Chains A and B, each alone.
Chain A
Amino acid sequence: MTAKQPLLSVQNLHVKVEDKEILKGVDLNIYAGEVHAIMGRNGSGKSTLSYTLIGHPRYVVTEGKILFKGVDIVEMTPDQRARNGMALAFQYPVAIPGVSVSNFLRASVKAIRGKDVPVKEFRQELKAQMKKLGVADEFLGRYINDGFSGGEKKRIEILQLALLKPALAVLDETDSGLDIDALKIVSEGINNLSNPETAILLITHYQRILNYVEPQFVHVFQDGRIVKSGGGELSKELEARGYDWVLQELTSSAVS
């Protein structure tokens, strides 16, 4: 153990969904101040990892550990994990008709901060963040994700994280479906989440967002585990050469 303890330490994580093993031994350490990216083919298990981190009941940990701030969180409910400082921006956020964005934001900010924020103060903070992310006022009165376009959903996810200020933000394909301008704005939002006390785990298919949000570590996900890790340059190499290259390299190194 180094002097510094990782913010998140995933150790030999195996996860089953409906009796099918999806994660097959994930190892990943993330320290405060770091930005990590995970790339990998469709269906390789990236979202499964993100759901498991935040504690979706459908994903059952069969082996291994998830240490967050040094504590094993596998038995914790999602709300406990959230209050502990973890947040996930979903690839497919669900709609909740009848629950307005503003009501929900207030409730969740209150839950995470452990105290009610005065209405006026909250509105100011909210308005400032909305402005940064280019979210129009009318969204406050709309129902969560109900009828939102793909890009709007992603912006609102980042808006929530901006208010909740998690120690670890997991972003599952937050860049998918964003137009060029939105990508820039949302990337800035993501960068604003990052500081020496926090860390970001970004799941993406595209090099483009990594031009704005620069990871120090890039991991390649394949068949339920991380098969290759490298620095920021790895993503460019992946973009140029595709996933087959990683796999070929893996098999050839295994052979040699």
Chain B
Amino acid sequence: MSESKLINTFARERVDNLASQNGEPSWLKELRVSSWEAYLQTPMPTGRDEGWRKTEIDSLDLSTLNAIDLSTKNDLKAKLPDWFETALTFFDNHSGVVAEVGHSSISAKLSADLVSQGVIFCSIKQALHDHAELIRPYLSKIGSDQKFVLMNKALFNSGTFLYVPANVEIEGPFVSLTHFTSLNGAPNGVAIFPRLIAVLGKHSKASLVNVLSSEQGKESKSSSRSLANALVEVHVEAGAKFEYLELQKFDDNVFAITRTHNQVEQDAVIKSLTVAIGGSQLKGDIVTVLNAHGASSDLQGIVLGDTDEHYSFNTIQKHNAPNTTSNINFRVALKGNAQSIYQGIIEVAKVAQKTAAFQSNKNLLLGAEARADSIPKLEILADDVKCSHGATVGPVDREQIFYLMSRGLAAPEAEELIVTGFFRQILEACTIGRAKEWVYDVLAEKIHQV
């Protein structure tokens, strides 16, 4: 890692540098700068803020972080992590892979067919270069007053852009990887700001697998924290169908803050699965806005925590129009001393009559010291709605364990089978390639680790 890349992240200078070193157009620089100014105006969240409960955000010392630039050079032969190579075997019909692995960037080879239909799948850097006018409106379409979203919008320097024109339907999934080394040998941690934008034109159909990860370090977590601040913005236009799978698999010195915003228009459908299986602190917001008549969303979440990992996921189902439906199914299993807090917010606007909104959160406590909290929050202003929410927190059912043991399985084996089964029910909903088998394997592997 060259010294010149290690510029303290949180300085206006950094914003200027990004703009000039990437040869960005002036409008983009203006966008970055205005986000930066808003960032400065916004107070830093604290652990006392409702959305940040139990995140230990106060322990994140931004002044020590150094932003690193991912994907500074195109390198088709760059080495992908072994586990990611394995993952790709589950998506053998993929439509393209974009990978940013440290400094290297691997671009997707799209079929001539996709290219001729106007499909774009590339790194966000390349999109800003080659398709600036196309991506431009999407950079500012979704506003935010969130400190870390503004930070990302000012400093984003990696990530992926998917654009599927109207009426184009694509079977094989797109796959995106953002992988970094959080331990740079220096005393300070690093920071990355990936931004993913997916645009599904009217009546189009596609799926995307997004993997956010960092190198499993050999050093202990006593070494300094690194930050991954990721922003995912999904625009599902009228009548379009989108399926999304995200895996967050970080090293245990990474503080990851992710925000996903799904904007769903008339009669459009989004289906998504978020899987979080590693990191020191993972704080994720998943906002789904059902913006027009007939929009629907079906979100699944999986958290598998171990040791002293900390997970804080907030989902927000926002019904802005009548006849919209949303469903959330969020499951958490915690080993060791892992902790999780899930906050599920359902907001139904006054105009959003005939809305259906469902939310379920189940938590399995495997470790004696594991802790899970579940907080539903309903803000329903319309009067003709169907709405339900439910949460459970508890250990594995002893009767289930006993049943499996009575058929010869040792206690740990029995527990493992029940926990993977707990997640399998959620995985069933995912129809991207052989994604569910892959995720199942990834989960089983983590359960095996002691």
A interface residue numbers (CB < 8 A to B):
54-57, 77-79, 81-83, 87-88, 90, 93-94, 96-100, 103-104, 107-108, 111-112, 143, 160, 164
The answer, among B402, B413, B422, for a CB contact under 8 Å with A107, is: B413
Residues of A near B417 (CB, < 8 A) are 96, 99, 103-104, 107
| CB atoms of B418 and A98 under 8 A apart | yes
Supposing A94-B399, A107-B417 touch, asked if A79 and B425 sit within 8 A by C-beta, the answer is no
B381 to chain A, nearest CB (A): 35
| CB atoms of A164 and B407 under 8 A apart | yes
| CB atoms of A108 and B418 under 8 A apart | no
Mask: chain B, 410-450; 1 = CB below 8 Å from A; 0 = not: 11011001101111110000000000000000000000000
Looking at B398, B400, B423, which has the most chain A CB atoms within 10 Å of its CB? B400
| CB atoms of A96 and B418 under 8 A apart | yes
The answer, among A82, A96, A103, A160, for a CB contact under 8 Å with B405, is: A82
Q: A-B pairs with CB below 8 Å: how many? A: 79
Residues of B near A100 (CB, < 8 A) are 424
| CB atoms of B402 and A96 under 8 A apart | no
Q: Is the interface of B mostly helix, strand, loop or mixed?
A: helix
| CB atoms of B408 and A82 under 8 A apart | yes
| CB atoms of A96 and B400 under 8 A apart | yes
Looking at A88, A90, A108, which has the most chain B CB atoms within 10 Å of its CB? A108
State A103–B417 Cα separation when bound (angstroms): 9
A86 to chain B, nearest CB (A): 9
| CB atoms of A97 and B421 under 8 A apart | yes
Q: How many residues of B contact A (CB 8 A)?
A: 24
| CB atoms of B399 and A99 under 8 A apart | no
Look across to chain A and name the residue whose beta carbon is closest to the beta carbon of B403.
Answer: A94
Residues of B near A107 (CB, < 8 A) are 404, 409, 413, 417
Residues of B near A81 (CB, < 8 A) are 406
State A56–B409 Cα separation when bound (angstroms): 14
Look across to chain A and name the residue whose beta carbon is closest to the beta carbon of B407.
Answer: A108
| CB atoms of B407 and A82 under 8 A apart | yes
B300 to chain A, nearest CB (A): 13
Residues of A near B410 (CB, < 8 A) are 79, 111
Supposing A57-B402, A94-B403, A96-B400 touch, asked if A108 and B409 sit within 8 A by C-beta, the answer is yes
Residues of B near A99 (CB, < 8 A) are 417-418, 420-421, 424
Look across to chain B and name the residue whose beta carbon is closest to the beta carbon of A103.
Answer: B417
Given contacts A104-B407, A107-B409, 4 further A-B contacts (CB under 8 A): A79-B406, A79-B409, A87-B407, A108-B408
